[in-house]
Amino acid sequence: MMIMESMTLDRAQNYLQKYYGYPDFREDQRNIVTSLLDSRDTLGIMPTGGGKSICYQIPALMLPGLTLVVSPLISLMKDQVDALTTAGISAAFINSTLSGKEVNDRIRAAAQGDLKLLYVAPERLELDWFREQMSYLPISCIAVDEAHCVSQWGHDFRTSYLSVAPFVEGLSQRPIVAAFTATATPEVMDDIVKLLRLQEPQVFVTGLGRDNLAMSVLRGENKREYVMTYTAEHAHETGIIYAATRKDVDQLYERLQSAGIAVGRYHAGMSDIERAASQEGFLYDDIRVIVATNAFGMGIDKSNVRYVIHYSMPKNMEAYVQEAGRAGRDGEPSQCILLFSGQDIMTQKFLIEQNQLDDERRHNDYRKLQQMLDYCYTNRCLRNAMLDYFGEVHEGNPCGTCSSCTDERELVDMTIDAQKIFSCIHRMRERFGVSMVASVLKGSRNKKVLQYGFESLSTYGAMSNRTEKEISEVINVMASDGYLSLSEGQYPVLKLQPLAGDVLKGQRQVMQRVARPTRTSGIASGGYGRTRSRDISPSAVNETIFEQLRLVRRELAGKEHVPSYIIFNDATLREMSVVCPQTESQILNIKGVGEVKFRKYGKPFLDFFQNQNHDEYTDDDE
């Protein structure tokens, strides 16, 4: 049995090298591939850019029948199918962009065994005629991508995902079911297993912390000025800037365009044609920067995004991790920068109230918003804070790269201020929110303070030397550090936690970093003091050669009518610039250069290095 398992895995690794150009699976990928090849239902929680698709694509090549992939967006299907067919794997999609004849042709091709993977939207599983057609196909596996969409507690709930389980049960022979997502709390994971009706699934949770991503939260910045400066300093890099409203998107787009940045925009207020043009321009590198609302991104598999800036705080951690995770999918060092201000809270509360949600969903959205706020205020390692949110077990070692870990400000003893704040909350009977407590501590004479008689409290004016905004900032940091909690809802109320009791009794000291520098730290401005993928030192990369290779790639991509990263990603080109391959075997040893891709695209790159070597030799000879 062990010999058979070894032979099966060896075969899988051969496919991996042949079609994808990688010599071996990552450990988490290997576990999931093995589980599927053992015919086990499987749930994989893997970070964006962690190689989820390989986990079901390789088994699809080895299983006897068809793998049906449930995918939420047309653009995501197209990207996946383009990448597969470019690598020499038979795949197709069925969606609303096709004519009836094209749909029938693709179903016929699947029935004849000419396709190994077929991508469909979940809504299609609700159609009687489609279910009937699928009942005649030899479906070995159903892979559900973005599986968090099945849960109403996930951030992209789609009722059509609830049709997956009935569809599976309606097939004459039940296939293996595999579910994948990048973000899922324990609550959402339980929902995925239950609502997709996975049978005794193997569950694999891969570390969400990606070493190549440097996470930063910057408070008190002039957001517009920051974005203008950052994009100018990184003009040759690809980036996404997320904003909460269409108005912010349009204003940033106009300013960046006026500054000469190759920029596009994307939001629901634009026409379908305008949005498609922006997305295509971004994918094909005609646009370097795209400013967008959260309507943009799930279908974007672009590997060379070097930075993601959140101009506004997202509505919850799941959305943030999904959006920030679109940076550095090729494993190269990338920046994830969140620009936070108090106005973001009001914007997100307004958006929650605008949604037609039942009370339970609205209550949940407010709870998640408060958890996002805690992340923005925490002094802890941001990666650890993120892992804790998703319930991931980890060693707790600081990442050393986030804005908290690289913060060089001196720790200040805030115990006295903390005692004033906690005492004030206690005297106000834990019935009010941050703003009201800050007003009392400031000594405000506003109508509500006087109405409740709070000017008679011993803590009234106890922090009169601070502004209300500064006091509110300190309170929010205390909440993120676990001394206080905030109730859920539109108007959260402060509650004291056991840690606050220890402080009031003089049994615990409170330390905070209180004054942020006027400019961003090195980690947010694009330094490379981090682990680079493939163990290539930044100094080893020949940037001149790298840019020339990008031109070769761009020309090929234009001929093939596919985005550049479909040919080879930036990480592969960087490794080429270091290795400077002169032979077929040398270029095949570079990660990301599979046999099929080499036959299709390898010769121009090999010719480039051979010609360069000849030119250098000629120069020396002269």
Q: How many helices and strands, by DSSP H and E, does the chain display?
A: 26, 17
Structure-block tokens of residue 190: 């339980």
Domains 213-389 and 412-512 share a fold: no
Percent of the chain scoring above 90 in pLDDT: 48
Percent of the chain with pLDDT over 70: 91
CA atoms within 13 A on the CB side of 112: 8
Range with top average pLDDT, 137-141, 363-367, 561-565: 137-141
* CATH class name, domain 412-512: mainly alpha
Cβ-count burial 318-340 (b if 16+ within 10 Å, e if not): bbbbbbbbbbbbbbbbbbbbbbb
621: pLDDT strictly greater than 90: no
pLDDT of residue 5: 54
SS3 state of residue 399: coil
Between CA 432 and CA 430 the distance in angstroms is: 6
pTM, two decimal places: 0.73
* Angle 376-432-421 from CA coordinates, rounded to 5°: 65
Q: What is the DSSP letter of 24?
A: S
**How many degrees, rounded to 5, is the angle at CA 48 between CA 84 and CA 91?**
15
Provide the mean pLDDT of the chain.
86
Structure confidence by residue, pLDDT tens digits, 414-467:
999 999 999 999 999 999 999 999 999 999 999 999 999 999 999 999 999 999
Range with lowest mean pLDDT among 144-158, 173-187, 495-509:
144-158
Q: Is CATH 1.10.150.80 the right assignment for the domain spanning 533-621?
A: yes
Residue ranges covered by each domain of the chain: 2-205, 213-389, 412-512, 533-621
**pLDDT number for residue 4:** 44
What pLDDT is recorded for position 97?
85
- Report residue 564: phi and psi, to 5°: -55, -40
Query: What is the CATH T-level fold of the domain 213-389, as seen in this structure?
Result: Rossmann fold (3.40.50)
pLDDT over 80 at 468, yes or no: yes
- How far apart CA 446 and CA 298 sit, in angstroms, is 46
pLDDT in tens, 529-582: 333 344 555 556 778 898 899 889 988 888 888 888 888 888 899 899 898 999
pLDDT of residue 37: 93
Compare 79 and 156 and report the one with higher pLDDT.
79
Quick one: pLDDT band at residue 300, thresholds 50, 70, 90? low
Residue 534 pLDDT: 45
DSSP letter string over 557-576? HHHHTS-HHHH--HHHHHHH
Task: Report pLDDT for 101.
Answer: 93
Three-state SS letters, 470-511? HHHHHHHHHHHCCCEEECCCCCCCEEECHHHHHHHCCCCCCE
Question: 46: which DSSP letter?
Answer: -
* Residue 6 confidence (pLDDT): 56
Per-residue pLDDT reduced to its tens digit, 89-131: 999 999 888 898 999 999 999 999 999 999 999 999 999 999 9
Residue 515, pLDDT > 70, answer no
State in words which class domain 2-205 has. Answer: alpha beta
